[in-house]
Structure formats: structure tokens, C-alpha cells
A = this chain, B = another copy of it.
Amino acid sequence: MAKSTAQTAALLEQYCERLQPMLDWLARYGADPQGGVSRLLYTPEWVAAQSALAQYMTEHGLDAFYDQAGNLTGRLLGTEPSLPAIATGSHIDTVIMGGKYDGAYGVVAAVLALAYLKEAYGPPKRTLEALSLAEEEGSRFPLTYWGSGNITGKYTVQELPHVQDRNGITLAEAIQAAGFGAASPYVSGRREPGAYIELHIEQGCVLERSEQQIGVVTGIVGQRRIEVRVTGESNHAGTTPMSWRSDSLACAAEMITTVRRTALAEGDPLVATVGHIQPFPGVSNVIAGETMFTLDIRHLDSQRLDEYTERLRSELAAMAAREGMTLFWQENLRAEPVLMNANMIDELQQICEQNGIRSRQMPSGAGHDAQVFGIMCPSAMIFVPSRDGISHNPMEYTAPEELIQGFRVLTQWLYQTAY
């Protein structure tokens, strides 16, 4: 018997109240003494967390099943199974000494959303799937997006079996010990959902500083990682007059200033960061003959990203030449931007407006599973604020009412799309 609007509204409130306790419950799997969470792929803590979630799904009427990579799905079968399924979720793994929101929030919200929808409205027309993806961070093995990658075909479950974690355990050993892998009783992860939507903390301070409650993500930025080396001449810091020096660190310092100046001039959403620098020999009383520094450049528009990067390269090369130094430039990573689905962006924006939720559209500067799904099917992301922009840290925090706001938007979008 269908519930009244008042009844479903009251039920939604009950589910909203479960968000924070369920996040705290999940954070006990891999809890660090320092207050954070370390839940690395295929560790006993990780296995226990997935098992507990599977049990929760089953108890709430979802059809829970694993795939060979260890991705956990809680399925709410639709009445029109020929329609493409809608998946929502995030990743269950954390970085070492991470927080309790990154990934976990999207998983918990997905499970609660489907449980609520089933209880409030019964089965949907389109099948709904809550995903607890095996891995996204790359913190145990150097395989970021392992979970979503096994669904989209970026990886197969037999990929790189010999890659080792810091204790020398191979991926093949770890996956077997966790009870998964190609020889396990589980199905292959490969499939193509009709849509993917991910709720996640922002991991930045844009929403907080602009006093918005929800960020509707326009896309995940593309990224270039470059290693730069400036070579001058090493000399004695005492016996070499200032005007005769070929000081690679002094030259690199001016280049770093140029990076900041040009990135500010280019404007949002471009960001350019020098996070690491290493002079050689790196001794206080020796002029550095060579200096290496890293460049991390991101933009939502691939062409503007390339244009900025190429202009910067020219400018740094000219600076090196003016000082008689040589510039080495090596691109070590190239990730293209992935745009979120325009219709889904519009629908999410409308939901916010209809409900009086302060929202803005924004790119994601960080990587997410949605960028892996986004090249396969219509995808979207919803951000909630991160206090002080802190993430990957035990201090990671989002207030319960902000978590609830994101959950409401997700739930309403799932309802209006699947029912």
C-alpha cells in the first residue's frame, strides 16, 4: 500500500538521521588510534567493512553481491529490467591515515538511499545499484581506480598480479587472501550501467568559502605532471662572486614565481602547483648546479590546459636561456578532463533550486571514480563542503546537516530518474 507524502517525508528524515551514525560505524573498520581511518585494499579491515555492508544491504532488502575484484553491489531490481540500471556509490578504501568521509560518504549514502527508496516507494522502474567500490586511492598498490576500472574494463582482475605492496605482498596474493580474484566464485565486474552518480566530499574549500551547500560537478579536470630540471654550475658559495654565478636554484625560484603569476593570470579553474623541489648537491655552502622541481597543472578544458602548459614551457625555457642554463622538461602523467553529463547537471541544479539549497556548479580538481564511469556512461557528482578543505587526513570533516543535504539531493535525483 502506497505511503502518503507525509509518511515518505517522515521516513526520509529517519534515514537522514542514520547517515552520521552509519559513517561512524563504518569508520570503526580500520580505525586508527589517532582518530583517522586506514582501510587499504584487501586487508582484513577492508574485508570486514565490505562484509558488514553486504549484511546491511541484505537486511534492508537489497540483493548484495560481489564481483571478482571485490566490488560490492546492493541491487534494487526494477520492474522494467530492460531499462539500463542506475548506479550510485563510491569507494570503500582509504589512504593511509585518512579520514572517515572520503569515499565512505558516497557508499553509505548510496546504501541508505536505496534502502529508503525501497521502503518508501517499493521497487523502481529502473534497477538501482548501490556500489561499494573496492579501491580508488592507489594507497596499497599503484592501481588507482582499481574498483571502477574493473567494471569499465580499464583493468582486468588479472592485471599486474606481481605488483607488490610495501610489505612485498603481490596483488595476486592479496586478492586471493581476501577471497576474490578470477578463481573465486564471483562474477566478473564488467558491465555498463545506464548512469552513474557519486556523492562525495569536496576535499577543497570552494563550497565553504563561497558559502554554498552543494556543488554540482561539471567535470573532473585534466592533469599534466611534469618534471623540470634546470642545470647551471655548481660552485663554492664563499669564493664565487654573485655576478659570476650560474645558480640553478636561484633560476628555479624565479621559475616557480612565474608559475604562480601565470596561473593566477589564467584564472580559475586552472591550477598550477610546484609541490616538490630538490637542488643538487643541496648543501648550504655550495651553489646548486642542478635543481629539479615538479609541476602539477590542471584544467577542465583540455585545449586550454595544453595551451597554458606550452606557454609556460616556452617562458621557462627562455628564462633558462637568459641565464645560460639548460632546461629539461618531461611529462610524466597526462590525464584528460572528463565532463559530467549535461542533463544530469541540469537535473541536479534544478533539484537544488526547487529545494532552496544554495548550490554552485564547479569542476572537481581531484580524481574520482566518476571520471572512470564518465567515459562509459552518463555520470554526475554531487559535492558537499569539506571543513577547511582538509582531506586525506584524520581531521577531515563535514557537518551532519551538510551530509544530509547531499543525501537529499542524491535521493531525489534517484527517485525522479528511476521511478
Binding-face segment, A66-74, A230-238, A341-349: A230-238
The answer to whether A268 touches B241 (Cβ under 8 A) is: yes
Binding-face segment, A82-90, A116-124, A274-282, A405-413: A274-282
Q: Is A179 an interface residue (CB 8 A)?
A: no
Q: Write out the residue numbers on chain B whose beta carbons fall within 8 Å of the beta carbon of A264.
A: 242-243
Cross-interface CB contact of A364 among B209, B239, B271, B283, cutoff 8 Å: B239
Q: Is A414 an interface residue (CB 8 A)?
A: no
Binding-face segment, A20-28, A128-136, A166-174, A246-254: A246-254
Cross-interface CB contact of A279 among B223, B275, B366, cutoff 8 Å: B275
The complex places the Cα of A117 from the Cα of B213 at a distance, in Å, of 91
- Shortest Cβ distance from residue A67 to the other chain B in the assembled complex, whole angstroms: 29
Q: Write out the residue numbers on chain B whose beta carbons fall within 8 Å of the beta carbon of A184.
A: none
> Given A249-B256, A273-B285, A284-B294, A389 and B239 touching (CB < 8 A)?
yes
Q: Is A286 an interface residue (CB 8 A)?
A: yes
Q: Is A272 an interface residue (CB 8 A)?
A: yes
The complex places the Cα of A276 from the Cα of B254 at a distance, in Å, of 15
The answer to whether B268 touches A242 (Cβ under 8 A) is: yes
The answer to whether A239 touches B288 (Cβ under 8 A) is: no
Q: A237-B271, A241-B269, A285-B296 are in contact. List 7 more A-B contacts (CB 8 A).
A: A204-B238, A205-B235, A237-B296, A238-B365, A238-B367, A257-B257, A276-B279
